[in-house]
């Protein structure tokens, strides 16, 4: 009998400090940076975001999301035999955020590693966990997306600092006789490194190069919709399903206009799209599991429904996962 993987619990965590656009406009104004609620809402759909306190790390938020997901799945930390954390803002250069999170959780001993695919990170991590479960290498995986993008934002660059927020989301993925994950599709094209990057690195005890986020927003925008459409059609074809079989699209929450463009291409009305970008901003690898958990806990998505998760981000990386909840 074929072995599948299935999501059995979801969880999330948002740091308590919430900044509305008005709060951010005020803070940026004190630095002489001009922006407005109208501009941010019209161009991005974002109305608020959460920022972590200075001493809160990726693993701190990830472990809260993980505990919530474990509770929803009715499992203890020691039941877990694989931990993957998707992040581009880990606690330290090494060890991985996954190892630190594992110790905080008390799931010591199982394999734990980070996946770095920026905003596609959760899609990559979920696909790796699914493959390991299908192969028999794992039985109960914890897949976490956690980001503190506020640490790598240039608050003197209004074209990027208004877009991002902090947070974490997690799922428990368990072996099952029935799907679960129906299909997935991952891609990367490294020729687009420069349009979205944090070019700095640590060397000889110093940070070399600029350690803050750089983005060519229009170039990203142009690539994103086409790539997301291709990934969506690829997972549907692999699973032998049609666009009309999708109950919910849960895209990476970067910009409402990218989400609207993707939905249009897939002939999905916006009331089949889970939208949290308005309240969370772009939380990179955390955005999809945060949106999924929100949709599960509010009853928006229901067990048995078909969900299309997809993301695009720095690298360039992109991908999709089609699953039955
Ligand atoms: N407030 C006010 N004005 C602004 C701001 C701001 N925060 N930022 C830019 N502007 C101004 C610009 O200076 C420009 O002014 P000008 O016409 O006088 O030169 C004007 O607004 C238009 O700027 P554009 O860059 O053309 O605005 P655009 O409509 O392209 O919107 C945006 C910019 C929101 C960044 C858009 O390009 C976008 O969403 N791109 C995709 C970004 C994205 O989603 N990235 C994440 C995906 S991958 C990942 O998640 C890591």
- In angstroms, what is the span from residue 155 Cα to ligand 1's centroid? 14
Instruction: For the chain, give the longest Cα–Cα distance.
Output: 63
260 contacts 270 by C-beta, under 8 angstroms? yes
Ligand 1 atom closest to 254 (CA): 44
3-state secondary structure of 11: strand
Question: Is there a common fold for 4-177 and 182-324?
Answer: yes
Q: Does domain 182-324 have CATH number 3.40.47.10?
A: yes
**Residues with C-beta less than 6 Å from any ligand 1 atom:** 35, 39, 43-44, 118-119, 158-159, 162, 196, 215, 217-218, 220-221, 254-255, 258, 282, 284, 312-314
pLDDT digit string, tens, across residues 26-44? 999 999 999 999 999 999 9
Please choose, from the candidates 125, 137, 138, 69, the residue with its C-alpha nearest in 3D space to the C-alpha of residue 97: 125
pLDDT tens digits, the chain, 325 residues: what are they?
789 999 999 999 999 999 999 999 999 999 999 999 999 999 999 999 999 999 999 999 999 999 999 999 999 999 999 999 999 999 999 999 999 999 999 999 999 999 999 999 999 999 999 999 999 999 999 999 999 999 999 999 999 999 999 999 999 999 999 999 999 999 999 999 999 999 999 999 999 999 999 999 999 999 999 999 999 999 999 999 999 999 999 999 999 999 999 999 999 999 999 999 999 999 999 999 999 999 999 999 999 999 999 999 999 999 999 999 9
Active site residue 68: no
Of the candidates 105, 68, 61, 64, the one whose C-alpha atom is nearest the C-alpha of residue 83 is: 105
Phi-psi region of 167 (alpha: psi -120 to 50; beta: other; left: phi over 0): left
Q: What is the pLDDT of residue 311?
A: 97
Can you tell me the distance from the alpha carbon of 50 to that of 167, in angstroms, rounded to the nearest whole number?
7
Mutate to test the pocket of ligand 1, among 221, 281, 316 (most ligand atoms within 8 A of CB): 221
CA–centroid distance, 43 to ligand 1, in Å, is: 7
| Ligand 1 atom at minimal distance to the Cα of residue 35 | 1
**DSSP string over 102-171:** HHHHT-TTS-EEEE--GGGHHHHHHHHHHHHHHHTS-SEEEEEEEEEGGGG--TT-HHHHTTB-EEEEEE
Q: Where are the domains of the chain?
A: 4-177, 182-324
304: left (phi over 0), alpha (psi -120 to 50) or beta: left
Which helix (H) or strand (E) element contains residue 2?
A: none
Query: Would residue 99 show up in a list of annotated catalytic residues for this protein?
Result: no
Compute, in angstroms, the gap from residue 283 CA to the centroid of ligand 1: 17
Cα→Cα distances 198→258, 261, 276, Å:
22, 27, 25
Mention every residue, 6+ apart, whose C-beta is less than 8 A from residue 135.
none
Q: What is the pLDDT of residues 197-214, one digit of tens each?
A: 999 999 999 999 999 999
* Cβ contact 51:15 at 8 Å: yes
3-state secondary structure of 322: strand
Distance CA 169, CA 63 (A): 9
Q: Whose CA is nearest to atom 1 of ligand 1?
A: 35
Selecting among 68, 119, 161, 255, the annotated active-site residue is 119
4-177 CATH: 3.40.47.10
CA distances from 100 to 34, 60, 107, 148 (A): 39, 9, 10, 15
Residue 10 confidence (pLDDT): 98
| Contact assessment for residue 284 and residue 121, using Cβ atoms and an 8 Å cutoff | yes
pTM of full prediction above 0.85: yes
Q: pLDDT at position 1, please?
A: 79
**Which tokens sit at 152?**
């790598």
CB 137 within 8 A of CB 172: no
Residue 58 designated active-site: no
């Amino acid at each position: 009998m074929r072995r599948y993987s299935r999501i059995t619990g979801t969880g999330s965590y948002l740091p308590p400090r919430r900044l509305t656009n008005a709060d951010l406009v005020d803070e940026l104004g004190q630095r002489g940076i001009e922006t407005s609620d109208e501009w941010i809402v019209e161009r991005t759909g974002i109305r608020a975001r959460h920022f972590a306190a200075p001493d809160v790390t990726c693993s701190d938020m990830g472990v809260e999301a993980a505990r919530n997901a474990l509770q929803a799945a009715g499992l203890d930390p020691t039941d877990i035999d694989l931990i993957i954390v998707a992040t581009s803002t880990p606690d330290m250069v090494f060890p991985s955020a996954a190892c630190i999170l594992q110790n905080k959780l008390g799931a010591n001993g199982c394999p734990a590693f980070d996946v770095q695919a920026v905003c596609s990170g959760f899609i990559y991590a979920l696909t790796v966990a699914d493959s390991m479960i299908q192969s028999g290498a794992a039985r109960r995986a914890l897949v976490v997306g956690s980001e503190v993008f506020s640490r790598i934002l240039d608050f003197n660059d209004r074209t990027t600092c208004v877009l991002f927020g902090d947070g974490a989301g997690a799922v428990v993925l368990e072996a099952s006789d029935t799907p679960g994950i129906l299909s997935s599709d991952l891609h990367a094209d490294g020729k687009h490194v420069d349009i979205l990057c944090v070019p700095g690195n640590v060397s000889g005890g110093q940070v070399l190069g600029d350690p803050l986020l750089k983005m060519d927003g229009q170039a990203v925008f142009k690539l994103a919709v086409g790539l997301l459409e291709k990934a969506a059609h690829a997972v549907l074809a692999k699973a032998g399903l049609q666009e009309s079989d999708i109950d919910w699209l849960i895209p990476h929450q970067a910009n409402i206009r990218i989400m609207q463009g993707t939905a249009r291409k897939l002939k999905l009305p916006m009331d089949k799209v889970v939208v949290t970008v308005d309240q969370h901003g772009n939380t990179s690898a955390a955005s999809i599991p945060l949106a999924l958990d929100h949709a599960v806990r509010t009853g928006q998505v229901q067990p048995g429904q078909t969900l299309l998760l997809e993301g695009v981000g720095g690298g360039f990386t992109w991908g999709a996962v089609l699953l039955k909840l």
